[in-house]
Structure 1
Amino acid sequence: MFKRSALATMLIAATTPALAHTGQPAFSGFLAGFTHPLTGLDHTLAMVGVGLFASLLGGRALWAVPASFVGMMLVGGMMGLASIEIPAVEFGIAASVIVLGAVVSLGRAWPVGAAMTLVGVFAIFHGYAHGAEIPAGAGAALYSLGFTLASAVLHGLGIVLGAAAARQTYAGRLAGAAVAVAGVVLLIG
């Protein structure tokens, strides 16, 4: 049932209206927003990292940590759309990948509120990048809905991967270490 629902959601998200008229944007606002977190490895790794972190903590964190990220990402997105300057956005995004990977690799329990705060701070940088990079002609509401849904899907993927890794002795910690190393590579590159 879950697989069918996920497949149906992905197929619906991938569809765009037929744009036979000149001057129309190539992507709908929703699709442009949905693909944005999926086309940058830094965003993808951070979103999956949030899910891995939530899975590591379990319980209330399974929904509270991703919800904190999504909420603060929308705040950052509004800042980007409004052209409010945030310094060191790319550094903040790379740092989020490194820190989230390191936190998961250490495998330590965090208070849920502290975890929500950590991911919320990083979410502002990700949201800002999404908002600042809105394609010309894309509506802000549909674009924001797209990047929010894609982020939630990636968080869910991280939770599922974290749950599967929990059955293996060190798999979750190795996944976190891999995310952190990828973050360092992205920062250097």
Structure 2
Amino acid sequence: MNIRLAGGLLAATATLVPATAFAHTGVGPAGGFAHGLAHPISGLDHMLAMVMVGVLAWQIGGRALWLVPATFVLVMALGGMLGVAGVDLPFVEAGIAVSVIVLGAIVAAGIKAPTAVAMGIAALFAVFHGHAHGSEMPADAGGLAYGLGFMLGTALLHLAGIGAGLLIGRIAERHGPLAMRAAGGAAAVAGVGILTGVL
């Protein structure tokens, strides 16, 4: 992925997500899709975790570039079904906050875990994010449309994270690993703030 493609992905994400997220706010399939698409970008915790998944995937490289985000999205969909079904999952909010801390710390430390390990970490945290999305589905939203919306919203945030990883990596090539450490560290610190209720 070159720098122009990454820039294009980031620009498309920044331009299209807010526009489509709020284009249709009614009931039914269109409303459900719009609510689902908006949900991942409605909270700092979801946004940071999902962007960090993308940065981590870029950091590992190779097949992890698509396997790690894909694992997160698919397992998150399963977590969403649990939430919609009303299945209780303890410590959901704490799990989401911890996901931001752990993913940020891994990125900050520059750990290039094996792809399978990164997929396992992504899957573990995806359950919490998905459950939150599912349990907060509006009563008048269509379940399938809502689910497709939050899956697409999440995938777009992962793409933004991959693009951010590429840009940060280019900066790191010129100025050392400080930029990557700072990005991951900032996310981890924000995760602590979310966990403690400061943010």
Aligned positions of 1:67-86 closer than 5 A: 67-86=70-89
* Pair 1:92–1:139, CA change in 2 (3 A): same
Matched letter for residue 192 of structure 2: V
* Pair 1:45–1:100, CA change in 2 (3 A): same
* Pair 1:134–1:103, CA change in 2 (3 A): same
Q: Give 2:127's aligned residue.
A: 124
Shift of 1:12: 4.3
Could you tell me which of 41, 54, 57 is aligned with 1:54?
Answer: 57
Shift of 1:184: 0.1
Deviates more, 1:75-84 or 1:161-170: 161-170
C-alpha distance after superposition, 1:45-81 (max 9, x if no partner): 1000101110110111110000000010001000001
Could you tell me which of 169, 172, 186 is aligned with 1:178?
Answer: 186
* Pair 1:46–1:141, CA change in 2 (3 A): same
Do residues 145 (structure 1) and 143 (structure 2) align? no
The secondary structure found in structure 2 opposite 1:177 is: helix
Q: Give 1:87's aligned residue.
A: 90
Q: Give 1:16's aligned residue.
A: 24
Q: TM-score, normalised by structure 1?
A: 0.90
* Pair 1:95–1:5, CA change in 2 (3 A): closer
Matched letter for residue 173 of structure 1: R
The secondary structure found in structure 2 opposite 1:28 is: helix
Q: Percent identical across equivalent pairs? A: 49
Structure 2 unaligned regions, length at least 5: none
Matched letter for residue 47 of structure 1: M
Structure 1 unaligned regions, length at least 5: none
C-alpha distance after superposition, 1:21-64 (max 9, x if no partner): xxx58x70011011111011100110001011101101111100
Q: Distance in 2 between matches of 1:105 and 1:51?
A: 14
Q: Distance in 1 between matches of 2:54 and 2:189?
A: 17
Q: Distance in 2 between matches of 1:8 and 1:184?
A: 30
Matched letter for residue 141 of structure 2: A
- Identify, as 1 or 2, the structure richer in helix: 2
Q: TM-score, normalised by structure 2?
A: 0.86
Matched letter for residue 161 of structure 2: G
Shift of 1:173: 1.7
Could you tell me which of 153, 163, 167 is aligned with 2:166?
Answer: 163
